[in-house]
Amino acid sequence: MKINQINLLSLAEQKQIEKWSMGKILPISDKTVVQLFEEQALTNPNAIALISANHLINYANLNKQANQIAHYLLNRGVKTGDIIGLCGKHSPE
């Protein structure tokens, strides 16, 4: 099953989003979330990607941190396509 086939929202939530977007449905991309994020980091590196109580992180820095985690996992033997779980504190770091 593809990610775009999974319904994460209730019918009421879907209706609310349709109302917010005035009925406009955006085309589904063939790109992965990772690819879309990397594009955003390249085209808008200084735009704010994450806001928490005491932190603002732009796309360039968030992408850098994500890549550090990815390389760490690859060095530990995780392969592309492997499913893994990450556990940590809820924080921007």
Q: Distance of alpha carbon 25 from its chain centroid, rounded?
A: 20
> What pLDDT, on the 0 to 100 scale, is given for residue 31?
85
In a domain, 60, yes or no: yes
> What pLDDT, on the 0 to 100 scale, is given for residue 25?
62
- In contact, 39 and 30? CB cutoff 8 Å: no
In a domain, 1, yes or no: no
Record the tokens describing residue 15, joined without a space.
């209706």
Q: What is the tally of structural domains in the chain?
A: 1
Residue in 83, 39, 45, 80 with CA at minimum distance from that of residue 62? 45
Per-residue pLDDT of the chain (93 residues; tens, 9 = 90+): 777 777 878 888 888 877 777 756 667 778 888 898 999 999 999 999 988 888 899 999 999 999 999 999 999 999 988 888 878 787 777
> What pLDDT, on the 0 to 100 scale, is given for residue 32?
85
Q: Which domain does 70 fall in, by range?
A: 28-79
Record the tokens describing residue 9, joined without a space.
């929202």
